[in-house]
Amino acid sequence: MTVSAPRLSPGIKRLALASVLVIGAVVVWMMTQDSKDGGERKTSNGASDTRITASAKPALSVMAVTPQSVEWLRVLPANGNIAAWQEVVISAEISDLRLTEVQVNVGDRVQKGQVLARISRDSVEAALSESRATVAEVEAMLAEARANGDRARQYQATGFMSAQQINQYLTAEKTALARLNAARARLQAEQLRLAQTAVRAPDDGVISARTATVGSMAQPGQELFRLIRGGRLEWRAEVSAADLGRLKPGVKAMLTAPDGARVQGRVRMVAPTVDPQTLNGLVYVDLPIAETGNTLRAGSFARGEFELGRERAMSLPQSAVLLRDGFSYVFRLDDRNTVTQTKVAVGQRMGDQIEIVSGIAADARVVASGAGFLADGDRVRVVAAPVTASGKP
């Protein structure tokens, strides 16, 4: 037996279709209102019911650090050249004679009186022999003149000899004595010339230059060698006129040699004048002789620092200080771990620490590292510093 579905009248069908159309229109209208209001729901009095449920996430995980109060060694940096304390020019004292031997070279350490070079002495020895013969001849003439003078003095009272003859004998005696003195003077001069054929070191030191060559003609005043007296060197540091008053004899100076070695010296003298063009003055620093020729050499450039004493100072790690546009900044942390870019004035550096002169308080918290990745107003997450094997952060 088959059961057929009841047939709907045309009026009921039209009513159902109209209901579906009305419901669809209402849904489309509600969706249009939601898109216009940006997805917000309105209450009966028109107020927005939207709430931000997501909070801002920290920009970076950082460690915080506070300035340390340390005893800081105050230093005054300077640059300058290494020079000889005194450099002696050694030359020949006789002329027109050839150099026959040169016994030293540049860099040799010599003693006072040591022979550096020899000059031909043949002609000087010949002249010396001639002077000795002249002295002997004049001595014989003086002996004869003295004998005649003694006889003349004996007969002077008796009248046996005339006054004119007596006067001639006495005059001859005086003349012979004068000639002897002159001959002896010439002999001494030749002996001195013979001694000058050996060029000797006037003091202990190091030969810094040599122009003497075998076979060349020696001339008075012509440079043969240069000698650094005592092997002593000094650092001639250039210091601004404003800082010269902070230095005085005896102040320690620490130099960095060209090979990286550290050499300590002491201020010997501060120049009384200042260069009007550079407005810098020279400070002369004595250096230890033991370093001469090892790490320091005359003519080389060196950097150094003068130690001015110790003072209390506030410092931060260099990683906490950011350089931007020629100024130094730190990122200061507040109670909500929000960073604020703060300009600071910095001083000298020592190791991985940098002096903070002004800009922050002594108890301020700042970002220890990674400041280059932060911007003013960023919120960060502060983490504890890692503990080392010694138990210290």
Q: Which of 261, 276, 310 is the last residue of a domain?
A: 310
**Judgement on whether residues 294 and 167 belong to the same structural domain of the protein:** no
Q: Are residues 288 and 333 in the same domain?
A: no
Same domain, 130 and 163: yes
**Contact predicate 231/109, CB 8 Å:** yes
Which of 263, 295, 310 is at the close of a domain? Answer: 310
Q: How much is the pLDDT for 163?
A: 78
Output the domain CATH number for residue 318. 2.40.420.20
State whether 97 and 218 are in the same domain. Answer: yes
CA 318 to chain centre: 23
- What is the DSSP track for 182-205? HHHHHHHHHHHHHHHTEEE-SSSE
Residue 153 CA to residue 49 CA, distance in Å, equals 152
Q: Are residues 296 and 359 in the same domain?
A: no
For the packed helices 122-156 and 163-196, what is the interaxial angle rounded to 10 degrees? 160
Helix runs in the chain, H state only: 10-36, 122-156, 163-196, 241-244
If asked whether residues 298 and 238 sit together in one domain, one would say yes
| 42 within some domain | no
Residue 24 inside a domain? The answer is no
Domain co-membership, 250 together with 299: yes
Whether 222 and 332 share a structural domain: no
Say if residue 335's pLDDT is above 80. yes
H or E stretch including 248? none
Are both 240 and 306 inside the same structural domain?
yes
**CATH code for the domain in which residue 161 is found:** 1.10.287
What is the DSSP pairing of strand 262-270 with strand 97-102?
unpaired
pTM, to two decimals: 0.60
Q: What is the pLDDT of residues 257-272, one digit of tens each?
A: 877 888 899 999 999 9
Q: Which residues pair with 279 in a beta bridge?
A: none
Looking at 267, 291, 310, which one is the last position of a domain? 310
313: CB partners within 8 A, 6+ apart: 69, 70, 71, 72, 347, 355
Establish if 9 belongs to a structural domain: no
Same domain, 184 and 304: no
Q: Would 44 be classed as within a structural domain?
A: no
Residue 315 within any structural domain of the chain: yes
Summarised one tens digit per residue, pLDDT across range 96-130 is: 889 999 999 998 999 999 999 999 988 888 999 99
Structural domain boundaries enclosing 216: 90-115+200-230
Q: What is the mean pLDDT of residues 218-226?
A: 89
Structure confidence at residue 27 as a pLDDT band (50, 70, 90) = low
Look at residues 120, 116, 124, 122 and name the one whose alpha carbon lies nearest to residue 100. Answer: 120
Rounded Cα gap, residues 189 and 124, in angstroms: 10
Residue 211 pLDDT level (bands cut at 50, 70, 90): very high
Separation CA 40–CA 49 (nearest Å):
7
Q: Considering the domain boundaries, does residue 45 fall inside one? A: no
Q: At 143, give phi and psi (nearest 5°).
A: -60, -45
10 Å CB burial of residue 152 (0-12, 13-18, 19+) is buried
CATH of the domain at 248: 2.40.30.170
Give per-residue pLDDT as tens, 124-172: 889 999 999 999 998 998 888 888 888 888 777 676 777 788 888 888 8
Tell whether 290 and 174 lie within a shared domain.
no
Same domain, residue pair 353 and 316? yes
Q: In the structure, what pLDDT confidence band is assigned to residue 43 with cuts at 50, 70 and 90?
A: very low
- CATH number assigned to the domain comprising residue 217: 2.40.50.100
- Which residues are CB-contacts of 285 (< 8 A; sequence separation ≥ 6)? 234, 235, 236, 237, 253, 255, 265, 266, 267, 268, 304
Task: Specify the pLDDT at position 29.
Answer: 58
Nearest to 176 by CA among 151, 203, 212, 140: 140
User: What digits encode the pLDDT tens for the residues 347-376?
Assistant: 878 778 888 888 888 888 899 887 778 888
Does 192 fall in a domain? yes
Q: Contact, 255 vs 235, CB < 8 A?
A: yes
Domain count, the chain: 4
Q: Is residue 372 part of a domain?
A: yes
